[in-house]
Amino acid sequence: MKIYRVGGAVRDRILGRPVQDTDWVVVGATPEDMTAQGFKPVGSDFPVFLHPVTGEEYALARTERKSGRGYKGFTIHSAPDVTVEDDLRRRDLTINAIAEDEHGNVIDPFSGRADLERQILRHVSPAFVEDPLRVLRVARFAARLSFAVAPETLQLMSEMVAAGELSDLVPERVWAETERALGEPEPARYFATLRECGALRHVFPEIEALFGVPQPERHHPEIDTGVHSLMVLEQAATLSADATTRFAALVHDLGKALTPASEWPSHGGHEERGVELINNMCDRFRAPNRFRELAIIVARHHLDCHRIAELRVGTILKKLEATDGFRRPERFEQFLLACEADARGRTGFERRDYPQAALWRAALTAARNADLGDLNLPALGGEAAAAAIRKRRVEAIREVLES
């Protein structure tokens, strides 16, 4: 029996990045050998075991061959004669097909270290096409590492898209990969890479539809709404590591894709049109509610967030209520960050200040701290009490904004 450290742990160690999780491959063993040494078998699809002390996963070396459609359509072969090179050959990218033995010797049959040095994402073998999720994984690694996709790999990804392979993807797996990509250092690269190979129109047609839709050049020197959306995502990534905030920033303008061409470059009413598209997207991928809820708030209210200086004080209070700022101040902060990303996600505006956020924060704080001590709310009751509270909050907001 020989044990090898494999995959991401080896890759990240070579790159000098923190190693989060370690995966192990065992060569020359049977399931009975593993259980005899105290390893606990887990799962039913693959020969994987948990270490009795560390709890880390140890998988028996295996080969895979596609035998049907979908996630379950693979024949797994695992036996003591499967080598570590055989196991590495089934992996997606050369940079993930590197192993290390107990003495620190590196096994690199597909030149993964050279591709790490070149900063290239390259597929290991033609078997790459057997799992369409790999198209999304390559895009996610581009977002994580800022590596370029090798031309031959990009061509293979495009061929997979053209052949309709992505139709086999399970929505939950697409979302899981996308949510991880949203948390990477450069999430816009994920969507840009998917667009480059033609996958974006199949996986995220609502986002693909934004490209080629013009906006007023005076406010949007970049003009193209799709370009703007990815720029907003880039800015959101500089402001927050939160995937929920980044998603809301990305999809805030989806409604502009539904604007009749006769009305271009104006997009009146795109805020509410975008809500339906966000709901459709979140339904399709069964996205967690926190993504849907924040994205809808940003889509509906981002324009008013930008123009706080033009709003009446009573309208400001209504917006604080509509965005649920009183009950969910932490989500209101996410809303402000997404709106700031929108304002800065324009050519030439990337480093502009966004004073509107400070005004909204001051307004919310003032309204929450409004002095209600002398109001006999129980005696007023119902609508009268609510009106009295609103009046005090309006006064508090007016006072802080005027000062």
Q: Which tens digit of pLDDT belongs to each residue from 214-243?
A: 999 999 999 999 999 999 999 999 999 999
The reported pLDDT for the residue numbered 73 is: 55
* Residues in the chain, pLDDT under 70: 43-45, 66-75
Q: Which residues contact 316 (CB under 8 A, 6 or more apart)?
A: 308, 363, 397, 401
What gap in Å lies between CA 129 and CA 152, rounded to an integer? 13
Burial 204-233 (b: 16+ CB within 10 A, else e): bebbbbbbebbbeeeebebebbbbbbbbbb
C-alpha closest to that of 250 among 212, 280, 208: 208
The reported pLDDT for the residue numbered 176 is: 97
The reported pLDDT for the residue numbered 72 is: 52
Neighbours of 355 (CB within 10 A): 10
Using only C-alpha atoms, the chain has a radius of gyration, in whole angstroms, of 26
> 57 pairs with which residues across the strands?
50
Q: What is the CATH number of domain 1-118?
A: 3.30.460.10
The reported pLDDT for the residue numbered 66 is: 67
The reported pLDDT for the residue numbered 301 is: 98
The reported pLDDT for the residue numbered 400 is: 94
What gap in Å lies between CA 308 and CA 357, rounded to an integer? 9
pTM (2 d.p.):
0.92
The reported pLDDT for the residue numbered 135 is: 98
Domain chopping of the chain, boundaries? 1-118, 204-402
CB 62 within 8 A of CB 46: yes
The reported pLDDT for the residue numbered 320 is: 98
On the CB side of 40, how many CA atoms lie within 13 Å of its CA? 8
